[in-house]
C-alpha cells in the first residue's frame, strides 16, 4: 500500500467524519439564525445534495481516479484542471482552521492567544498530512471508537431534556429562508473533493462500507441538528460549538464534573483529520509543479497561518470571508471540477475504445 | 525526506509545541480557586459577587476546605478578578453549579446580568440558577444542616427533588431558552433558609449572618419568582410552582396529600404522569388533560378503625378532590400569570408551532388575555 491508498473502510470513515465536523460547530447557530427552527430541514437538504458530489467522486475513484486521468491527458491540461482546487482547499482550510482556533480559544482555554493555537494546530495538521493516507486512515479508525464512547457516557450519566415541539412548525415562513440560508452558508458544503487524491485499495470482498457510512453520516448530521433545535429552541442562534455543548448531556454534577471530554477530543481530532485531507490534496497538486509533497504541505500551512494571523484574525473575519462572494467561486469550482473529471474519464475511455477498434 | 531532516522537523515541532503551549495558562489545583457557588447582589451602582470557593489542601491531599469571599466591581468578571487577587488564586468557574441572583438583580436586570455567565464557556450551561428574597450573599454564608457547603446542599436538593411537584429546576440553558421565547417568560426557584433549631414556621429571609454555631438551616425551595424579560413580576407559592410543573410535564414523581371524607390524612405518591394538550385556534382555548398513575401510600384514620392500606380504596369524592386540586393549581397559576401579562407556559409558541403563520395573523399584542385554559386530571391507582 503506497501513501495515497486507503482501504474502503477508511474511506467510509472519512465519508462519515467529513460532513460531521464543520457542520456541527458554528454552522448550526448560523443556520438557526437564518432559517429559525427549520435549520434541521435545511441541513437535510444540504447533506442530501452534498452526497451527489460524493457519488461523483466515488465513481471517479472506482474507474481509476486521478491516476487514470493523468495517463490519458497531456500534463499541462491535467495540471490546469487540478490547480483551481488549490484555491478551494486554501479558502476552506482557512475558514475551518479559524473555527478550530475559535473552539479552542473560546471553549477550552479562553485566555490562550489565538496565534499560538493557530501554529500548534497547523503543526499537527501538517504532520498528519505529510504522513499521508496511512496516517489519515488510521487516525479515523482510532477516533471512530470515541463515537460509541460518547453514546455510552451519554446513556450512563447524561439526561435527555428535549422539547420535541421546538423543531416545529416546518416551512411556517415558506421555503425562502431555507434557500437564503443555504445560499449564504454554502461554503460549508461540498467537502468531499480531497478524496479525489486518494486511491482505493482493491479488495475481493465487496462490502457496502461507503453506502453505510453515507447513510449514517446523513442521519448523524440531521439528527444532531434536530437534537440541537430541541435543546435550544429559539436561542439556538446564540450557541456556537454545538457539538461540544450537546456532548455535555445536560449533566449537573460537581462530583463527576463535565462529561464532554470525549466530544471535545472527537471534534478536535475530526477537525485535524478533515484539514489534513485538504493539506494532503494540496501537496499532491503542488507535486505536479515539481514541488516535493511535504514542502508543498508546509508551504500551504505557512500561507494559511499567515493569512489567518494577518488578515482574518478571528472567527468574525472568517465568517465574513465565508459569506462573501468568494463562496460562489469556491463552491463552483468544487462542484464543477469533479464533474469535469468524471466526464473526461468517460469520454477518454470511450475514445480509447474507439482507437482500439480502428486499429 | 532524509533522516536528518525528519528529526530536525520533529525537534522543531516539539519545541514549538512546548513554547507555544506554555502561553496557555496551566494553573495547578492548589493555585485555583474552584468556585462551587456564586451569589450576585447589587450594591448601588456596583455588583457584589460572592463566591464559595473550594480550596484543595495540597496537590497530594485531595481533601478540601471551603471559604466564602465577596468582592465588588462594575461587572461580574471585574469582581471575580478582585477575588483572584484577594485569594492569590485563579478563579475557576468550571465546577460552579449554583448561581444565586438577589431580588434586586432580578427586579431589573435578570438577563443582562446573566449574559456574561451564559456566554462564559467555562461555566456549565447546566449550572442551576435560583434567586433569594434578601441578599444572595447571605445564602452562601448560611450554615446548612446537611452539608459542609451551602452550594452542594442546594444543588443536591434541587437536582434530586427539582421537578418533585413543588420544586422547580432552572439551569442557565433553560433560562436562556425561555428568555428567547415570544413572551420572554421565566421563573426561578426562591431559596429561603429555615432555621431547624428555631421554633416551627420560622423563616429567616436574609439567612444567617455569620452563621452562628447554634443555628442550622435547611432550605425551603417551594416558591418561585416569575420573571418577564429582564424584570421580576410576581411570586408564586408551592401550589403555583406545582401548577407550573404539572403543565410543563416536568413532574416525574412527587407526593399529593389530601384530607379524606372522614378527616383521614391521605398521602398519595405519583409514579407516572402524562400530559395531553390541545390547542384550538378558533376559540383560542387550551385544554390540558393530565393522566396520573399514583399509589396510595398512607392513610391515617383518627377514628381508630382498622383499615389496612391494601384494602382501602378512595371514594369518588376523594378522587374528585385530588383531581380538582391539580386542576386548580394549573388554572390558578395561569390566571396569576395572565393577570400579570406573563406567558408562563409559552402559549404563543405552542400555538405557533401548531398553526404557523395562521396564528400570527390572529394573535393580537395582548393575545394572552384572549386565551382560556382548562385543565382536567384523571387519576389511576397502581
Least CB-CB distance to A234: which of B36, B127, B181? B181
pLDDT at residue A358 tops 60:
no
Grid coordinates 498528519 are at which residue?
A128
pLDDT at A330 over 90: yes
- Per DSSP bridges, beta strands B224-228 and B46-56 are unpaired
- pLDDT at position B202 over 60: no
Q: Which residue in A108, A110, A233 is closest to B177 by CB distance?
A: A233
In angstroms, the separation between the Cα of residue B22 and the nearest Cα of chain A is 9
User: How remote is the C-alpha of B125 from its chain's centroid?
Assistant: 13
- Closest C-alpha to B327, from B339, B319, B315: B319
Does residue B92 surpass a pLDDT of 80?
yes
Could B94 and A173 be called an inter-chain contact, meaning their C-beta atoms sit closer than 8 Å?
Answer: no
pLDDT digits 0-9 by tens, A22-51: 999 999 999 999 999 999 999 999 999 998
Provide the shortest C-alpha distance from residue B342 to chain A (in Å): 18
Query: How close, in Å, is residue B353 to chain A by CA atoms?
Result: 5
Give the mean pLDDT of B64-78.
Answer: 88
Residues contacting residue A110 through CB under 8 Å, at least 6 positions apart? B121, B122
- Measuring CA to CA, which residue among A192, A211, A200 is closest to residue A19? A192
- Highest mean pLDDT pick, A71-75, B22-26, B336-340: B336-340
Task: State mean pLDDT over A156-164.
Answer: 78
Asked if residue B60 has pLDDT above 70, the reply is no
Position with higher pLDDT, A110 vs B371: B371
* Residues in A touching B17 (Cβ below 8 Å): 120, 123
Q: Chain B interface, mutation test: which of A235, A239, A301, most B Cβ atoms within 10 Å?
A: A235
Which cell is B210 given? 455569620
Lowest mean pLDDT among A15-29, B45-59, B132-146: B45-59
Average pLDDT over residues B268-293: 92
- DSSP letters, B204-271, are -TT--TT--TT--EEEE---EEEEETTEEEEEE-HHHHHHHHHHTT--SSEEEEEE-TTS-EEEEEEE
The alpha-carbon gap from A105 to the nearest alpha carbon of chain B, in Å, equals 10
- Distance (Å, whole) CA B65 – CA B149: 10
**pLDDT surpassing 90 at residue B112:** no
A116/B36 CB distance under 8 A = no
**Closest to B54 (Cα-Cα) out of B140, B180, B117:** B140
Nearest-Cα distance to chain B for A58, in Å, is 31
Chain B: residue whose CA lies nearest to A246? B125
**Cβ-Cβ contacts under 8 Å, A165 against chain B:** 350, 353
Report yes or no: B215 and B195 within 8 Å, Cβ to Cβ.
Answer: yes
Q: What grid cell was written down for B33?
A: 480557586
- A169 CA to chain B: closest CA distance, Å? 5
Average pLDDT, chain A: 89
Which of A172, A252, A292, A305 would best serve as a mutation to test chain B binding (most B beta carbons within 10 A)? Answer: A252
The CA distance from A250 to the nearest CA of chain B, in Å, is: 6
> What are A239-292's pLDDT values in tens digits?
888 887 787 766 655 555 567 778 888 999 999 999 999 999 999 999 999 999
Contact A279, A123 (CB under 8 A): no
The per-residue pLDDT for B149 is: 84
pLDDT band at B120 (very low <50, low <70, confident <90, very high): confident
Comparing B2-16, B168-182, B346-360, the range with the smallest average pLDDT is: B2-16
The residue-averaged pLDDT of B280-303 equals 90
CA distance A161 to chain B (A): 10
The chain A residues in contact with chain B (CB within 8 A) are 106-113, 116-117, 119-120, 123, 127, 165-166, 168-169, 172-173, 231-235, 238, 241, 245, 248, 250-254, 257-258, 294
Find the residue in A nearest to B21 (Cα). Answer: A116
Q: Which helix (H) or strand (E) holds A106?
A: none
The 8-class DSSP code of residue A247 comes to T
Looking at residue B211, its pLDDT comes to 45
Inspect the interface and report whether the beta carbons of B350 and A165 lie closer than 8 Å.
Answer: yes
What is the reported pLDDT for B311? Answer: 65
Interface test with B, best of A254, A260, A263 (most B CBs within 10 A): A254
If you average pLDDT over every residue of chain B, what do you get? Answer: 85
Q: How far apart are CA B248 and CA B241, in angstroms?
A: 11
How do the residues of chain A divide into helix, strand and coil, expressed in percent and rounded to 5?
75, 0, 20
Q: Do A250 and B126 make contact, defined as CB atoms within 8 angstroms?
A: yes
The answer to whether the CB atoms of B353 and A169 lie below 8 A apart is yes
* Higher-scoring residue by pLDDT: A4, A79: A79
* Cβ-based contacts of B94 with chain A (< 8 Å): 257-258
* Residue of chain B minimizing CA distance to A109: B24
How many beta-carbon contacts under 8 Å exist across A and B? 92
Write down the pLDDT at residue A351.
63
**Residue A59 C-alpha, separation from nearest chain B C-alpha, in angstroms:** 33
Quick one: chain B helix, strand, coil %, rounded to 5? 35, 30, 35
Q: Using an 8 Å CB-CB cutoff, list chain A residues near B347.
A: none
**Four-point Cα dihedral B35, B41, B46, B47, nearest 10:** 20
Which residue in B has a C-alpha nearest to residue A232's C-alpha?
A: B177
Cell numbers linked to B53: 470557593
DSSP A111-150: TS-HHHHHHHHHHHHHHHHHH-HHHHHHHHHHHTTHHHHH
| Average pLDDT, integer, range B304-320 | 77
Tell me whether residues A120 and B16 touch, CB distance under 8 A.
Answer: yes
Cβ–Cβ of B25/A250 closer than 8 Å?
A: no
Look at residue A157 and give its three-state secondary structure. helix
Report the C-alpha gap between A300 and A86 in whole angstroms: 9
Which residues of chain B approach chain A closer than 8 Å at the C-beta? 1, 13, 16-17, 20-21, 23-25, 36, 94-95, 97, 118, 121-122, 124-128, 152, 155, 159, 171, 173, 176-177, 179-181, 349-350, 352-357
Question: How many distinct helices (H) and strands (E) make up chain B?
Answer: 12, 14
Nearest-by-Cβ selection for B23 from A106, A112, A166: A112
CB contact under 8 A, B177 and A123: no
Q: For residue B352, which residues of chain A lie inside 8 Å, CB to CB?
A: 169, 172
Contact A258 B124 (CB under 8 A): yes
ipTM of the complex: 0.85
Residue B95 has its nearest CB partner, among A107, A248, A254, at A254
Instruction: Decide: residue B365, CB within 10 A, 0-12 exposed, 13-18 middle, 19+ buried.
Output: exposed
The CA distance from B97 to the nearest CA of chain A, in Å, is 7
The band of B197, judged by pLDDT with boundaries at 50, 70 and 90, is: confident
Nearest by CB to residue B159, choosing from A108, A234, A252, is A252
Q: What is the C-alpha separation between A10 and A131, in angstroms, rounded?
A: 15
Distance (Å, whole) CA B227 – CA A266: 39
CB contact set of B204 (below 8 Å; sequence gap of 6+): B192, B193, B194, B195, B198, B217
Lowest mean pLDDT among A215-219, B29-33, B127-131: B29-33
Per-residue pLDDT band at B330 (split at 50, 70, 90): very high
The residue ranking higher by pLDDT, B273 or A99, is A99
Amino acid at each position: 500500500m503506497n501513501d495515497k491508498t486507503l482501504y474502503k473502510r477508511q474511506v467510509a470513515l472519512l465519508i462519515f467524519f467529513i460532513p460531521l465536523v464543520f457542520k456541527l460547530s458554528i454552522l448550526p447557530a448560523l443556520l438557526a439564525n437564518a432559517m429559525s427552527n427549520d435549520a434541521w430541514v435545511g441541513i437535510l437538504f444540504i447533506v442530501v445534495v452534498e452526497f451527489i458530489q460524493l457519488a461523483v467522486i466515488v465513481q471517479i475513484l472506482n474507474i481509476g481516479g486521478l491516476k487514470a486521468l493523468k495517463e490519458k491527458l497531456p500534463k499541462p491540461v491535467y495540471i490546469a484542471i487540478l490547480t483551481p482546487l488549490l484555491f478551494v482547499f486554501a479558502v476552506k482550510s482557512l475558514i475551518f482552521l479559524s473555527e478550530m482556533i475559535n473552539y479552542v480559544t473560546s471553549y477550552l482555554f479562553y485566555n490562550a492567544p489565538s496565534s499560538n493555537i493557530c501554529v500548534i494546530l497547523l503543526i499537527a495538521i501538517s504532520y498528519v498530512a505529510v504522513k499521508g493516507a496511512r496516517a489519515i486512515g488510521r487516525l479515523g479508525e482510532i477516533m471512530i471508537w470515541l463515537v460509541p464512547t460518547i453514546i455510552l457516557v451519554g446513556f450512563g450519566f447524561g439526561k435527555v431534556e428535549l422539547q420535541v415541539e421546538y423543531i416545529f412548525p416546518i416551512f411556517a415562513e415558506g421555503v425562502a429562508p431555507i434557500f437564503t440560508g443555504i445560499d449564504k452558508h454554502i461554503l460549508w458544503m461540498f467537502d468531499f473533493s480531497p478524496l479525489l487524491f486518494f486511491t482505493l485499495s482493491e479488495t475481493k470482498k465487496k462490502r457496502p462500507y461507503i453506502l453505510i457510512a453515507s447513510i449514517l453520516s446523513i442521519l448523524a448530521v440531521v439528527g444532531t441538528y434536530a437534537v440541537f433545535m430541541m435543546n435550544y429552541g429559539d436561542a439556538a442562534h446564540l450557541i456556537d460549538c454545538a457539538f461540544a455543548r450537546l456532548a455535555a448531556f445536560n449533566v449537573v454534577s460537581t462530583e463527576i464534573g463535565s462529561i464532554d471530554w470525549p466530544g471535545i477530543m472527537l471534534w478536535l481530532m475530526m477537525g485535524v483529520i478533515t484539514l489534513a485531507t485538504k493539506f494532503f490534496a494540496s501537496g499532491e497538486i503542488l507535486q505536479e509543479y515539481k514541488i516535493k509533497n511535504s514542502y508543498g504541505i508546509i508551504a500551504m500551512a505557512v500561507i494559511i497561518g499567515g493569512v489567518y494571523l494577518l488578515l482574518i484574525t478571528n472567527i468574525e473575519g472568517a465568517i465574513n470571508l465565508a459569506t462573501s462572494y468568494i463562496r460562489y467561486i469556491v463552491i463552483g469550482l468544487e462542484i464543477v471540477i469533479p464533474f469535469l473529471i468524471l466526464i473526461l474519464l468517460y469520454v477518454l475511455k470511450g475514445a480509447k475504445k474507439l482507437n482500439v477498434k480502428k486499429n | 525526506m532524509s533522516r536528518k531532516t525528519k528529526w530536525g522537523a520533529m525537534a522543531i515541532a516539539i519545541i514549538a509545541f512546548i513554547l507555544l503551549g506554555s502561553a496557555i495558562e496551566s494553573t495547578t489545583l492548589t493555585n485555583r480557586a474552584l468556585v462551587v457557588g456564586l451569589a450576585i447582589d447589587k450594591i448601588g451602582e456596583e455588583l457584589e459577587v460572592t463566591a464559595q470557593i473550594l480550596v484543595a489542601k495540597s496537590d497530594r491531599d485531595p481533601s478540601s476546605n471551603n471559604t466564602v469571599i465577596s468582592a465588588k466591581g462594575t461587572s461580574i468578571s471585574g469582581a471575580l478578578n478582585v477575588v483572584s487577587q484577594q485569594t492569590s488564586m485563579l478563579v475557576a468557574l468550571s465546577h460552579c453549579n449554583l448561581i444565586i441572583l438577589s431580588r434586586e438583580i432580578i427586579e431589573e436586570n435578570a438577563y443582562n446580568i446573566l449574559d456574561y455567565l451564559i456566554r462564559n464557556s467555562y461555566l456549565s450551561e447546566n449550572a442551576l440558577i435560583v434567586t433569594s428574597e434578601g441578599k444572595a450573599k447571605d445564602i452562601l454564608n448560611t450554615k446548612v444542616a446537611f452539608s459542609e457547603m451551602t452550594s452542594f446542599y442546594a444543588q443536591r436538593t434541587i437536582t434530586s427533588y427539582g421537578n418533585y411537584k413543588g420544586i422547580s429546576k432552572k439551569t442557565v440553558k433553560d433560562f436562556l431558552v425561555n428568555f428567547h421565547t415570544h413572551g420572554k417568560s421565566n421563573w426561578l426557584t426562591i431559596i429561603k433558609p429555615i432555621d431547624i433549631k428555631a421554633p416551627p414556621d420560622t423563616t429567616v429571609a436574609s439567612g444567617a449572618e455569620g452563621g452562628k454555631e447554634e443555628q442550622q438551616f435547611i432550605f425551603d425551595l417551594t416558591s418561585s419568582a416569575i420573571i418577564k424579560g429582564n424584570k421580576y413580576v410576581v411570586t408564586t407559592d408551592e401550589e403555583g410552582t406545582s401548577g407550573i410543573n404539572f403543565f410543563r410535564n416536568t413532574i416525574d414523581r412527587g407526593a399529593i396529600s389530601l384530607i379524606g371524607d372522614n378527616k383521614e390524612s391521605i398521602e398519595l405518591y405519583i409514579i407516572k404522569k402524562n400530559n395531553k394538550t390541545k390547542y384550538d385556534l378558533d376559540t383560542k382555548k387550551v385544554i390540558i388533560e393530565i393522566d396520573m398513575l399514583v399509589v396510595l401510600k398512607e392513610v391515617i384514620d383518627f377514628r381508630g378503625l382498622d383499615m389496612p392500606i391494601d384494602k382501602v380504596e378512595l371514594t369518588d369524592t376523594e378522587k374528585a378532590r385530588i383531581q380538582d386540586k391539580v386542576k386548580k393549581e394549573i388554572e390558578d397559576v395561569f390566571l396569576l400569570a395572565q393577570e400579570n401579562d406573563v406567558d408562563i407556559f409559552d402559549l404563543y409558541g405552542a400555538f405557533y408551532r401548531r398553526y404557523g403563520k395562521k396564528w400570527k395573523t390572529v394573535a393580537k399584542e395582548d393575545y394572552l388575555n384572549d386565551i382560556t385554559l382548562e385543565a382536567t386530571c384523571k387519576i389511576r391507582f397502581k
